[in-house]
Amino acid sequence: MNDFSVHLPILQVVIPLLAAPFCFILRKEAVVSVFTVLVGFACFAISMDLLAQVIDGDVLVYELGDWARPWGIEYRIDILNALLLVVVSSMAAVVFIAGPGQARRAIPEGRGYLFYSAALLTLTGLLGVTITGDVFNVFVFLEISSLSSYILIALGRSRRALMAAFSYLIMGTIGATFLLIGIGLMYQMTGTLNMVDMTERLRDAEQTRTIFVALAFVVVGISVKLAVFPLHQWLPNAYSFSPPLVSAFLASTATKVAYYLLIRFCLGLFGLTLVFEVVEIDVLLLPLSVMAMFVGSIAAIYQRDFKRLLAYSSIAQVGYMTLGLSLASEAGVAAGLIHVFNHALMKGALFLVAACVTWRMGGTRLDAMKGLGRRMPVTMAAMVVGGLALVGVPGTVGFVSKWALVSAALEKDAYLLGFLVMASSLLALVYVWKLVEIVYFQEPETGIERREPPLRLLVPTWILAGASIYFGVFSDFAVDVASRAAAQIFAAGM
C-alpha cells in the first residue's frame, strides 16, 4: 500500500464525478444537500493541498491507469492549475451551502437531487479542464461542464431561462467546436495530444499556416466561452435568467476556467514568440479588452435588473483579465490571475446577494429593491462590500487587482492604458452608486419590516464578502501565488 496522497490529483476530479451519480441513489434531498457540501469542501481541501505541493515550483504528474505519456492521459499540476483549482473548488464549496434555492420551483417535487447532480457534474468538468495535461481531455471536460451548466441555467424561474440556456448552448457548442478544430490541427502538426510533448514539438515545428489557423480557432473558441467582447452575447441572458445561485457559481468559476485555458494555450502550448511576435494576437486582444471594459460598464449602468447589471459588469471584468494577458508581460499575466481570484470572490458575493434578494422579493428588478437597505441591512451591507470591490476601493480585493493591472501597464510604458483602467473604474462607481442610491436612499414601496434571508444564504454571502475584504487587506496570498504562476508559465512559454 503506497502513500495515498499521491492520488490527490485524480481524487480532485473523481470525487465530484462519482458524487454526481451517487446523488441519484441517495435521492433524499436533505441528505444530498449535506453530502454535496461535504464533497465541495473535500475538493477544496484537496486543491489547497495540491497548491501547497506545487507552490515551490515542482510539477505534479499523475498518470491515469499507470500509462505513461504519450500513451495515457496524464494530469499535470503546476502553480497555474493549482491556483485555478483552488478558485473553482472554494467557490463551489461556498455556493453549495446555499442549496438550489430558487431553482426548486423549476424542479418537480422530490427531484431536487437532480440539481445537485448537475451542479457536481459542472464542478467535475471545470476541475477536469483545469487539471488535465491532455488537450483532448480538455475538450471532453469542457463539454461535461458545459452540458451540465446548460441544465442549471435552464432551471431559472422565468421561461426565458430556457431560451437563455438554448442560446448559450448554441454559442457554447460553436466555441467548443472551434476549440476542437484547433486541437485537431495542432494534433495534425505534432502527432500528440499530450501538452508537454505538444509544447516541445510546436516550438520546433515550422510556423506553417496550419499552426496559425489552429491558433486562430483555439483563441476564438476559448473567447466565446470566456465571453470576450464582442463574443459575449450569451452571457447577460445566461447569468440573469438562471437561478441566482447558479449565476453565483458560474460567474465565479466558468469564465475563470476559460481564462485559464486561454493562458495555457497561448503561453503554455503555442508559446510567447508565436502568439505575441509572429501572430501578434495582442493587436486584437488589447483593443477588445478595452472595449469590453467600457462597453460592459456602460451597459451595466443602464440595466434595470440587479443580476443583469452584474452580468454586464462581468463582461467588463473579463476585459481586465484579457487586458492583463494582452500586455504580454509577466506582470500583466500575474495581474490577470490576481483578478481571476479576486473577481471570483466579489462577483460570487454579489450574485449571492442577488440570491438573497430573490428569496425576499421574488425577483431582482431594481425597482423592487428600493429601500432594501432598511429591510435587509445585513444582506445589503454585503452588497456594498462587493460593489466597493468592483469599483476598486482600497481595502478591498478590487483595489489589489487594479493596482496590479495599472502597475503592469505602466511597466510597459502604456500610460494611456493605465488611465483607461482607472477611467473604467469610475464607470463601475456609477453603477455601484446607482445600486447604493436605490437601496439606501429611496423609500421602500411596501413596509419597512426587517427580515433577513435564512442563514444558509446569509452565511455563504458573508463568507465571500468577508473574503473580499480580508484578501484586500492581506493581499499577499493572491499576489504571491499569481506572480509565481505567471513566472512559471512565462518561463515555459519562452
Contact call for residues 359 and 453 (beta carbons, < 8 A): yes
Contact region for other proteins (CB under 8 A) — 20-28, 341-349, 446-454, 480-488? 20-28
Residue 207's Cβ-count burial label (10 Å; 0-12, 13-18, 19+) is middle
**Closest distance between other proteins and the C-beta of residue 462, in Å?**
35
Cell of 274: 508565436
Between CA 360 and CA 439 the distance in angstroms is: 14
**Closest distance between other proteins and the C-beta of residue 16, in Å?**
11
Q: Tell whether residue 410 is a contact of other proteins (CB under 8 A).
A: no
Rule CB under 8 A: choose which of 56, 66, 204, 413 binds other proteins: 66
Nearer to other proteins, 24 or 302 (CB): 24
Q: Tell whether residue 38 is a contact of other proteins (CB under 8 A).
A: no
**Closest distance between other proteins and the C-beta of residue 27, in Å?**
9
Cell of 11: 481524487
Contact call for residues 16 and 43 (beta carbons, < 8 A): yes
Nearer to other proteins, 17 or 482 (CB): 17
Q: Tell whether residue 1 is a contact of other proteins (CB under 8 A).
A: yes
Q: Tell whether residue 219 is a contact of other proteins (CB under 8 A).
A: no
Q: Tell whether residue 143 is a contact of other proteins (CB under 8 A).
A: no
Q: Tell whether residue 14 is a contact of other proteins (CB under 8 A).
A: yes
Residue 283's Cβ-count burial label (10 Å; 0-12, 13-18, 19+) is exposed
Contact region for other proteins (CB under 8 A) — 12-20, 382-390, 424-432, 442-450? 12-20
Q: Tell whether residue 65 is a contact of other proteins (CB under 8 A).
A: yes
Rule CB under 8 A: choose which of 34, 42, 61, 63 binds other proteins: 63
Q: Tell whether residue 2 is a contact of other proteins (CB under 8 A).
A: yes
Q: Tell whether residue 30 is a contact of other proteins (CB under 8 A).
A: no
CA 376 to each of CA 244, 266, 444: distance values in angstroms, whole numbers, following the listed order:
17, 45, 11
**Closest distance between other proteins and the C-beta of residue 353, in Å?**
35
Rule CB under 8 A: choose which of 5, 7, 422, 437 binds other proteins: 7
Between CA 82 and CA 105 the distance in angstroms is: 36
Q: How many CB atoms lie within 10 A of CB 473?
A: 12
Nearer to other proteins, 65 or 413 (CB): 65
Contact region for other proteins (CB under 8 A) — 39-47, 63-71, 90-98, 433-441? 63-71
Report the 3 state secondary structure along 342-408.
HHHHHHHHHHHHHHHHHHHHCCCECHHHCCHHHHCHHHHHHHHHHHHHHHCCCCCHHHHHHHHHHHH
Containing H/E element for 219? helix 209-226
Contacts with other proteins: how many residues (CB under 8 A)? 18
Nearer to other proteins, 108 or 494 (CB): 108
Nearer to other proteins, 114 or 458 (CB): 114
Nearer to other proteins, 121 or 368 (CB): 121
Q: Tell whether residue 71 is a contact of other proteins (CB under 8 A).
A: no
Contact region for other proteins (CB under 8 A) — 57-65, 159-167, 285-293, 351-359? 57-65
Cell of 194: 499530450
Nearest to 491 by CA among 84, 83, 59: 59
Cell of 25: 441513489
Nearer to other proteins, 46 or 281 (CB): 46
Between CA 250 and CA 153 the distance in angstroms is: 9
Q: Tell whether residue 64 is a contact of other proteins (CB under 8 A).
A: yes
Between CA 12 and CA 85 the distance in angstroms is: 9
Q: Tell whether residue 25 is a contact of other proteins (CB under 8 A).
A: yes
Between CA 351 and CA 432 the distance in angstroms is: 14
Nearer to other proteins, 69 or 339 (CB): 69
Q: Across the strands, what pairs with 62? A: 75
Give residues with Cβ within 8 angstroms of 134, minimum separation 6: 73, 74, 193, 194, 195
CA 379 to each of CA 251, 277, 296, 454, 463: distance values in angstroms, whole numbers, following the listed order:
19, 48, 25, 11, 12
**Closest distance between other proteins and the C-beta of residue 98, in Å?**
24
Nearer to other proteins, 63 or 197 (CB): 63
**Closest distance between other proteins and the C-beta of residue 120, in Å?**
12
Q: Tell whether residue 28 is a contact of other proteins (CB under 8 A).
A: no
Q: Tell whether residue 141 is a contact of other proteins (CB under 8 A).
A: no
Q: Tell whether residue 108 is a contact of other proteins (CB under 8 A).
A: no
Q: Report the interhelical angle of 330-361 vs 377-391 (nearest 10°).
A: 160
Peptide bond into 377 cis (omega under 30): no
Q: Tell whether residue 62 is a contact of other proteins (CB under 8 A).
A: yes
Q: Which residues bind other proteins (CB under 8 A)?
A: 1-2, 7, 10, 14, 17-18, 20-25, 62-66
